[in-house]
Amino acid sequence: MEKLTAPKIIWAAGENSGDLLASEVLPSVARNFPSTSMEGIGGDRMISAGLNPTFHARDLSVRGYVEVIKQLPRILRIRSQIIKTVKNQHPQAYIGIDAPDFNLSIEEKARKAGVPVIHMVAPAIWAWRPQRIHQIKRAVDHLLLIFPFEEEIFRKAGIPCTYIGHPLARHIPMKPDTMGARQVLGVAIDGAPVVAVLPGSRRDEIKWNSPSFFGACELILKSEPRTKFIIPAADEQIRQMINKELEKFPAVKEALTITEGQSHKALEAADAVLVASGTATLEAALYKKPMVVGYVMPGITSLMILSKAQSRWISLPNILSGKTLVPECVQVFSSPEILASHVLYALEPRRREELEPIFTDMHASLLRDTPALASEAVLKVLKQD
């Protein structure tokens, strides 16, 4: 029981989605341990929820093997400092949120040092690198899962786990208000077709995906000249990158609105979505929108990732349904011509009518009281310690 009076719980999130999830759970955990400081790595949401940040989540936000190598010295310095804090200060718990390449190695050391470890968002071993389950078993006292099918996988492996639902399912309305969102954004009030374009939230994603995404928009305008486009820019740097890319596509720039964040409003306002693979594909599905998934990576990164893939699909709607609900266009297949053809089909009303009930059922399966379930699991682990 002595460890229950330890002065801090260390949290570590390295992505926007992890920041959202942890920000939902952190206040509830803090209420259970009012004398404990909540410290570690988090984004703006976690900080607003009460985290005392040692580092900002953006410091860990890189993608792919090649890109990680460039940032490796900085990431290793952060990792070393967190490990030192864990060993020297013996926190009440270490709670890692997603970012498995960063968190699992720290979690192994924390658990060996006798620090209880909770990990939120299980590594997607069902998609790639299935051997990672052995490291998870060594590193984690309890897994908090955001997809229902994962429970069976981890329970069979003897890893304690709790399905807590997906936090996005609580934030996104079951019935989107498309026209209301358009009024908020001041877009296509006349009922013109609207396509939300999400080439990614990271600089490398903008660099690699924008040429084919904006090229597709150019072709769409030739077939449907009234079409309007919305791009939510994650921050000012991303906005500047987008504007620079748009200089090559003047017709698209004229038909396009860039929002300050507001990715959910952009999705809600859309008739169809052109989106990079990632959490945004699930967000589009929860907003019940037909979508086309595109993704381009550096060649070496692509070879290394795709060679280890365990799933036929890269987008969450397809993975969750176990079938190809939405088209996935990767690497050379993410060409302007192919993307434009799929988006034009997605804009047809029958496509929305076909997908809406499927996405509604998916939404219901992910809807749980995530903060309560997660904080209960954390409390249970700490009381057992």
Would the pLDDT of 309 be above 80?
no
Q: How confident is the model at residue 313 (pLDDT cuts 50, 70, 90)?
A: confident
Whole-number pLDDT of residue 183:
95
Averaged pLDDT for residues 26-37? 91
List Cα–Cα distances, 143 to 124, 163, 278, 362, in angstroms: 12, 9, 21, 22
Averaged pLDDT for residues 14-33? 88
On whether the CB atoms of residues 221 and 186 are closer than 8 A, the answer is no
Mean pLDDT of the chain: 89
Q: In what order do the strands lie in the sheet with 142-145?
A: 52-56, 37-42, 8-13, 93-97, 117-120, 142-145, 161-163
In this predicted model, what pLDDT tens digit does every residue of 318-370 receive, in sequence order?
A: 999 999 999 999 988 999 999 999 999 999 999 999 999 999 999 999 999 99
> Among 4, 3, 24, 2, which Cα is nearest to 13's?
24
Sign, CA dihedral 123-264-358-305, equals: negative
In this predicted model, what pLDDT tens digit does every residue of 360-381 receive, in sequence order?
A: 999 999 999 998 999 999 999 9
DSSP letter, residue 186:
T
